[in-house]
């Protein structure tokens, strides 16, 4: 039997003109929502915010996962705690020196703590606190913009994380983020991340309507992998 495919749409790439329609439909089909928060410094772009999460919650009962691409995680973590964002995922590159404190702060609020590894950052960078993490996100593209080149070598980190988890009985989920689409479904699914972040090329830009886009995505997954999507 095929395993359940945990999909987390990246709302940065959705059509905001169809916000209500898209969230309402996806709420019945996905496991969580992925919200990119950028400060214009860590990456040269600005995107969503804690306020956007609050607006999405008016239409959805699914967990929200904030992906922080920011230079000052401390500032943003407290804002996300204030709105009880279920997963708060910090940039490993800017968390050195505060990782233990921030993870403890998130856990004390009853929320889940994660880190995100950009392509150049090895898994070894988070080994001092990996046992405390609830999620590790592997970027398979350069962060900050949709449509970046897929970096297939980054999938090796997913295999490494799975081996570490199995060996040490860690509890984190493994998420991949970047260029999840029909060109890459086969190689991505072969390493079996727990969560697939999917955006413009794999979902939102497939057709003009979210329902037909969703079922096209499902068909592309099944064609590429030979497995039934469920």
177 an active-site residue?
Answer: yes
Predicted confidence band of residue 2 (pLDDT cuts 50, 70, 90)? low
Residue-wise pLDDT tens digits, 63-117? 999 999 888 899 999 999 999 999 999 999 999 899 999 999 999 999 999 999 9
Residue-wise pLDDT tens digits, 8-39? 999 988 888 899 999 999 999 999 999 999 86
What number is the average pLDDT over the span 117-146?
A: 92
Check residue 108 and give its pLDDT. 98
Domains of the chain (ranges plus CATH)?
6-225 (3.20.20.70)
Residue-wise pLDDT tens digits, 200-217? 999 999 999 999 999 999
Residue-wise pLDDT tens digits, 41-70? 444 455 668 888 999 999 999 999 999 988
36 an active-site residue?
Answer: yes
Check residue 40 and give its pLDDT. 52
Catalytic one among 166, 169, 177, 194?
A: 177
For residues 205 and 208, give the distance between their C-alpha atoms in angstroms, rounded to a whole number: 7
Prediction pTM value = 0.93
Catalytic one among 36, 134, 142, 166?
A: 36
């Amino acid at each position: 039997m095929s395993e359940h495919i945990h999909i987390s749409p990246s709302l940065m790439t959705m059509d905001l003109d169809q916000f209500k329609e898209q969230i309402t439909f996806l709420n019945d089909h996905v496991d969580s929502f992925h919200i990119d928060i950028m400060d214009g410094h860590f990456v040269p772009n600005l995107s969503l915010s804690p306020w956007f999460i609050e607006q999405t919650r008016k239409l959805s009962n699914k967990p929200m996962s904030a992906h922080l691409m920011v230079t000052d995680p401390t500032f943003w973590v407290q804002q996300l705690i204030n709105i009880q964002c279920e997963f708060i995922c910090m940039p490993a590159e800017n968390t050195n020196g505060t990782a233990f404190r921030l993870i403890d702060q998130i856990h004390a609020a009853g929320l889940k703590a994660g880190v995100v590894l950009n392509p150049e950052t090895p898994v070894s960078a988070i080994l001092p606190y990996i046992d405390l993490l609830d999620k590790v996100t592997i970027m398979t593209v350069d962060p900050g913009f949709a449509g970046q080149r897929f970096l297939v070598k980054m999938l090796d980190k997913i295999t490494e994380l799975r081996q570490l988890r199995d060996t040490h009985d860690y509890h984190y989920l493994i998420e991949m983020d970047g260029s999840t689409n029909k060109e890459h479904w086969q190689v991505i699914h072969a390493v079996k991340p727990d969560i697939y972040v999917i955006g413009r090329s794999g979902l939102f830009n497939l057709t003009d309507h979210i329902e037909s886009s969703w079922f096209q995505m499902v068909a592309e997954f099944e064609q590429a992998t030979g497995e039934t999507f469920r």
